[in-house]
Amino acid sequence: MILEGHRRWLQSQQHTPVPRVSLSASRPMILPPLSMDLGLLMISIGAVNLWRARQKST
């Protein structure tokens, strides 16, 4: 019911879509995306934790 009212409101507005311009399209990507950086950070933290746990067990 709420969604249908929202759809009617959107249709009544008759907005023209705004083109989305990507800033990365004009220049080459030098650094990897932030999500890749965070993923590698999490993997390295896990590897260090495993290494420390093995060192303590011996």
User: Mean of the pLDDT values across residues 1-6?
Assistant: 64
On whether the pTM is more than 0.75, the answer is no
Domain containing residue 10 = 1-57
Task: For 4-57, write each residue's pLDDT tens digit.
Answer: 766 776 666 665 665 665 555 566 666 667 778 888 999 999 999 999 999 998
Position of tokens 């249709």?
A: 11
Cβ neighbours of residue 37 under 8 Å, at least 6 residues apart? 31
- CA–CA gap between residue 41 and residue 16 (Å, rounded): 42
What is the model's pLDDT at position 21?
58
What is the model's pLDDT at position 24?
55
CA angle 44, 50, 55 (to 5 degrees): 125
What is the model's pLDDT at position 28?
64
What is the total count of domains within the chain?
Answer: 1
